[in-house]
Amino acid sequence: MSRSFDVVVIGAGPAGYIAAIRAAQHGMTVACIDEWKNRDGKYAFGGTCLNAGCIPSKALLESSELYHRAQHEFKKHGIQTGDVAMDIATMQKRRASIVRQLTGGIAGLFKANKVEGLVGHGKLLAGRKVEFTPVSGDVETIDAKHVVLASGSSPIELPIAPFDGVQIIDSWDALEIEAVPETLGVVGAGVIGLELGSVWARLGSKVTVLEAMDDFLFMADRDVAKAAAQEFQKQGLDIRLGAKVSKAVKSKNNVTVSYADSSGEQSIDVEKLIVAVGRRPHTDDLFSDDAGIQLDERGFIVVNESCRTRVKGVYAVGDCVRGPMLAHKGSEEGVMAADLIAGEVAEMNYDVIPSVLYTHPEIAWTGKTEAEVKASGRPYKVGSFPFMASGRAKAMEQTAGMVKIIASKEDDEILGIDPDTEDLQRTIHAHPSLAEAVHEAALAVDKKALNFPNK
């Protein structure tokens, strides 16, 4: 007799494992299937985020930032260290250990919440049946009252620079480099290019980033992008905009990358080349042709605003559906899907999903950029407060950048995120704290900033 569950989730990344746990908390029987295999040959829950994304990248950002600060900032504080050296093997061991602890933690959470974690491949068949191919053992067909597809995404490969795992690498390989390359090329100045470019530049690589667009950080506010570009330049990241990459030719020790920009044909020689030009939804062998699932022209599973697919009882969440490819967006969709399956009312506000680049300085935003507000024609006012004027930022030696708030001239709404600037103006922030800059920027919207001259 085949097993049956109230909910079967395919994929145990931050979208899938959260959906599974939430569904189990509603008292349903739940199985969560995942096939992720790490480079050490071990299977692990947690998907891209925990194994090859958010968590390992933040571990390396932290290590490399500490190293960089020890080299460049400690002296100012009066700390004498002598020569500071970086042991890459220890840094990588720490990264791997954090990943192991957190992915093991999900297995523990599954147990605690009575979610059946199944290791192997899941495939949706017609009639809400799921074919489960375990890593060892026989194929099984599972009956599911509801299915949540949470299969995630994988890096986009450029045909002119196919991944080889050694010289031309994706973001996962870039997290597991064992020796600092003398020179490193990055195609794509997006989130991954800037985060991982920063890591290896801080550790001593000469990093060149080739970005196809003419505008730097085109998705961010222009003032923020301008300030960020200056900071990255200071840190030694050589970012070349408007670079159309045409060829990547490998020799024994180098990759020669050819590109054209406004000054004509150019090329760079690098020891390794990271290609980080975005990710694509991963739906390989995820459903049978007669399962009724539809993909859009970019390969995302088609869902409505409630993450329901066209098949009754089948939901899809996370990177495999439209919207920003962010862990917290996927997790929130997982919660919504589980709540809807449990018969509760649930919805998501896609306008307020925050974006963060964990570079130095960190860059974060939510709601609308000034350009978007301008284009909408809505009269607006702007307040900004530079960290240069923040006591806490000075004490931390972290004065780059600013807080910027854009609000409606008509009703004071902070555009895209709902509350009024007056609400923020009336909040009390601990002193000294970086959050005070948010308070001051809200005051600056009405030319009431207290610790910085109003413009």
In 3D, which of 105, 119, 150 has the Cα closest to residue 33?
A: 119
Residue 190 interacts, among ligand FAD, ligand NAD, none and using kind-specific CB cut-offs from 5 to 8 Å, with ligand NAD
Q: Which of 88, 96, 212, 353 binds ligand NAD (CB under 6 A)?
A: 212
A 10 A CB-CB count for 317 gives 32
DSSP letter at 409 equals: T
What contacts 259, CB < 8 A, 6 or more positions away?
A: 210, 240, 243, 244, 245, 246, 265, 266, 267, 268
Q: Give me the sheet containing 238-240, strands edge to edge.
A: 168-169, 272-275, 183-187, 206-210, 238-240
**Structure tokens, 112:** 């605690």
Residues 213-242 touching ligand NAD, rule: CB under 6 A, are 213
Q: Which of 147, 192, 227, 414 binds ligand FAD (CB under 6 A)?
A: 192
**Structure tokens, 220:** 């961010």
Q: Is 192 in the site for ligand NAD (CB under 6 A)?
A: yes
Q: Does 68 participate in catalysis according to the annotation?
A: no
Q: Is 337 in the site for ligand FAD (CB under 6 A)?
A: no
Residues 49-108 touching ligand NAD, rule: CB under 6 A, are none
Residues 126-155 touching ligand NAD, rule: CB under 6 A, are none
Site string for ligand NAD, 358-387 (x = CB under 6 A): x-----------------------------
Residues 214-253 touching ligand FAD, rule: CB under 6 A, are none
Strand, helix or coil at 111?
Answer: helix
For residue 265, give the H/E element and its range. Answer: strand 264-270
Q: Least distance (Å) from ligand FAD to the CB of residue 133?
A: 8
Residues 103-142 touching ligand FAD, rule: CB under 6 A, are 121-123
3-state DSSP percent of the chain in helix, strand and coil, to 5: 35, 25, 40
Q: Is 388 in the site for ligand NAD (CB under 6 A)?
A: no
Paired sense of beta strands 183-187 and 272-275, if any: parallel
Question: How far is it, in rounded angstroms, from Cα 413 to Cα 382?
Answer: 12
Q: Is 18 in the site for ligand NAD (CB under 6 A)?
A: no
Q: Least distance (Å) from ligand FAD to the CB of residue 151?
A: 3
Q: Is 152 in the site for ligand FAD (CB under 6 A)?
A: yes
**Stretch of 120-128, 271-279, 300-308, 407-415 contacting ligand NAD, by CB under 6 A:** 271-279
**Stretch of 103-111, 295-303, 322-330, 382-390 contacting ligand FAD, by CB under 6 A:** 322-330
Q: Which of 142, 255, 325, 424 binds ligand NAD (CB under 6 A)?
A: 325
**Stretch of 74-82, 227-235, 321-329, 394-402 contacting ligand FAD, by CB under 6 A:** 321-329
Residue 151 interacts, among ligand NAD, ligand FAD, none and using kind-specific CB cut-offs from 5 to 8 Å, with ligand FAD
Q: Which of 69, 95, 282, 368 binds ligand FAD (CB under 6 A)?
A: 282
* Nearest residue relative to ligand NAD (C-beta): 190
**Structure tokens, 48:** 């891209």
Task: Please give the radius of gyration of the chain, using alpha carbons only, rounded to the nearest integer.
Answer: 24
CA distances from 334 to 18, 53, 75, 316 (A): 6, 19, 47, 8
Identity at 365, one-letter amino acid code: W
In 3D, which of 19, 38, 21, 57 has the Cα closest to residue 100?
A: 38
**Stretch of 53-61, 69-77, 176-184, 230-238 contacting ligand FAD, by CB under 6 A:** 53-61
* Contact (CB, 8 A) for 232 and 194: yes
What is the number of residues in the chain?
455
Known catalytic residues are 431
Using CB under 6 A, list all residues that contact ligand NAD.
Answer: 158, 187-193, 195, 210-213, 245, 276-279, 324-326, 356-358
